[in-house]
Amino acid sequence: MSDDDLSFMPATQAAALIRSGALSPVELTQAVLAAARRVQPRLNPFVVLLEEQALADARAAEAAVRQGTPLGPLHGVPVSIKDQVDVRGVRTTNGSAIFAGSAEAAADDVTVARLRAAGAIIFAKTTLPEFGHKALTDGPAFGTTRNPWDPSRTAGGSSGGAAVALATGVGPIALGMDGAGSIRIPAACCGVVGLKPTLGSIPWQQGADAFGNYTYAGPMARSVSDLAAMRAVLTGPDASDPWSLGAADLPLSPVLAGRDLHGLRIGVIEHAANARLQREMAANLHVSIAVFEALGARAEAAGSEIDWMEMPGRVMYQANFAISQRRHLAEWRDRMDPTLLAFMERGEGFSLTEFREGQYARTRLFHAVQRLFGQFDVLVTPTLSRTALPADFDAAHDEVEVEGELCGITRQGWSSYVYPFNLTGHPALTVPSGFDDAGLPTGVQLVGRWGAELDLLRLGAVLEEARPWAGRRPPEAA
């Protein structure tokens, strides 16, 4: 088998072949590392490749197969970790020069520990904008991470390195983080799959404000089945995250138990806080909905009455950065991302009253979405208003252009479909929906009830079967 075939092999297939002894985890890891070395100079998805440790872990995984040791579901499968998450013995930079010389992490984050326990082999840490603050992946500490379908475009952010790695065949699964769409935005830009889980479904132990949290660890992959396999490993309570202590999966909805989707009620949200929608993005949204309708589902417009609280959400988002990163300004201001500094400056200007009003708006938005789920079983939206922005887009000052019209900053004009569900806690899955006329991926987002990830995965698999995407490889693939 060629290295190219190995690096694009699905995680579920690789794990099965490794368990049977038909595939060497050492061979697989070597192929993935070789692909990473080829991609890195062109697209810049990695902060560091953990080659020595990954190969040592692969040799140990191979020995475990020979010895008949009980194997985890991801035994021998390579996985990359966003450099916002602690990996034992590796520096966590958060995309910032501030931590370029910091101490190595003393312990794995709970998500990393669960991946290791499942047998996965951690081979790299992936890029993010400084502290994951924006929807593009670039920064003064590491440069620009570029889109494999068109390197003049952004990979999206903030889990941009993870999405690029997946799209180019550098590992079948990746761990991302999502604070305002940071898994779903790059997944949609790069043509892969990403899940923001229900609040608490996957524990997030590194959050500074556990009770006010809207940041989520989540799986990313090239296929729904790989995403599901990774998610199954990551879920479950942990003492570090109070939201996780009462979290539980809902069973699969009865209307999704077979191929017949009669009885499934779909609410279609074509616009959120955004004024415009790219023509191809809208067309591919409706083609995706037609797949469900052909199987018996009923779809109708939804959400037009909802206040998507873009400005109150922006107040909380930027004010939180202003407070959390304030301590770095005296020493590091001239080496920090100008976009982050602009966000912090704006955040400092908001009042406590505005911040509390944002928190109240978050509750109102949750109630509004809950009412939608009194009418519908699932919500379907475009993931973004348009395909990937230019790689040099200034997220602090530039306006997003859609169909020739300037539509405001990224939260208003581009990612308006994703951030609301960080605030409400509902699970949201993005899957590829096709391509635009320039050959850039489009995405569709499926949103479910709290705990209804199994419903979303089932519907994502229906779309994947009807309109397969995993076989499409970008021009800049490894």
Torsion of CA 398, 445, 366, 94, to 10 degrees: -60
Residue 354 pLDDT > 80, yes or no? yes
Q: What span, in angstroms and rounded, lies between the C-alpha atoms of 271 and 381?
A: 8
Average pLDDT over residues 45-51: 98
Q: What span, in angstroms and rounded, lies between the C-alpha atoms of 335 and 140?
A: 7
Average pLDDT over residues 382-386: 98
Residues 156-206 pLDDT 10s: 999 999 999 999 999 999 999 999 999 999 999 999 999 999 999 999 998
Tokens matching residue 335: 């080496």
Residue 478 pLDDT > 90, yes or no? no
Identity at 394, one-letter amino acid code: D
Average pLDDT over residues 368-391: 98
Neighbouring CB atoms inside 10 A of 265's CB total 15
What is the maximal distance between C-alpha atoms in the chain?
63
Residues 432-448 pLDDT 10s: 999 999 999 999 999 99
List CB contacts of 103: < 8 A, sequence separation 6 or more: 91
Neighbouring CB atoms inside 10 A of 205's CB total 17
- Residue 429, classed as helix, strand or coil, is strand
- Residues facing residue 380 across a β-bridge: 268, 446
Orientation angle between helical segments 338-348 and 310-324, nearest 10 degrees: 110
List CB contacts of 376: < 8 A, sequence separation 6 or more: 265, 266, 267, 302
Q: What are phi and psi of 239, to 5 degrees?
A: -60, -20
Q: What span, in angstroms and rounded, lies between the C-alpha atoms of 356 and 297?
A: 40
Tokens matching residue 208: 């500074």
Average pLDDT over residues 383-398: 97
Residues 286-340 pLDDT 10s: 999 999 999 999 999 999 999 999 999 999 999 999 999 999 999 999 999 999 9
Q: What span, in angstroms and rounded, lies between the C-alpha atoms of 33 and 122?
A: 11
Q: What span, in angstroms and rounded, lies between the C-alpha atoms of 180 and 320?
A: 13
Q: Which helix (H) or strand (E) holds 311?
A: helix 310-324
Q: What is the torsional sign of CA 7, 12, 13, 17?
A: positive
Confidence of residue 397 (pLDDT cuts 50, 70, 90): very high
Alpha helices in 376-468 (DSSP H): 410-413, 419-424, 453-466
Q: What are phi and psi of 172, to 5 degrees?
A: -85, -15
Residue 2 pLDDT > 80, yes or no? no
Q: Are strands 441-447 and 378-382 parallel, antiparallel or unpaired?
A: antiparallel
Confidence of residue 394 (pLDDT cuts 50, 70, 90): very high
Q: What span, in angstroms and rounded, lies between the C-alpha atoms of 478 and 464?
A: 23
- DSSP structure string for 204-262: -TT-S-STT---EEEEEESSHHHHHHHHHHH-S--TT-GGGGG--PPPPPGGGSSS--T
For residues 125 and 453, the answer to whether their CB atoms sit within 8 Å is no
pLDDT of residue 346: 98
Q: Which of 314, 316, 320, 312 is nearest to 364 (CA)?
A: 312
Count of residues making up the chain: 478
Average pLDDT over residues 337-366: 98
For residues 85 and 109, the answer to whether their CB atoms sit within 8 Å is yes
Orientation angle between helical segments 453-466 and 279-294, nearest 10 degrees: 100
Residues 126-158 pLDDT 10s: 999 999 999 999 999 999 999 999 999 999 999
Residue with tokens 């290295």: 3
Tokens matching residue 227: 């995403």
Omega cis (within 30) before 158: yes
CA distances from 162 to 65, 266, 286, 356, 397 (A): 28, 30, 28, 34, 26
Q: Point out the residues that are catalytic.
A: 82, 158, 182
Residue 4 pLDDT > 80, yes or no? no
Confidence of residue 5 (pLDDT cuts 50, 70, 90): confident
Which domains, and CATH codes, for the chain? 3-466 (3.90.1300.10)
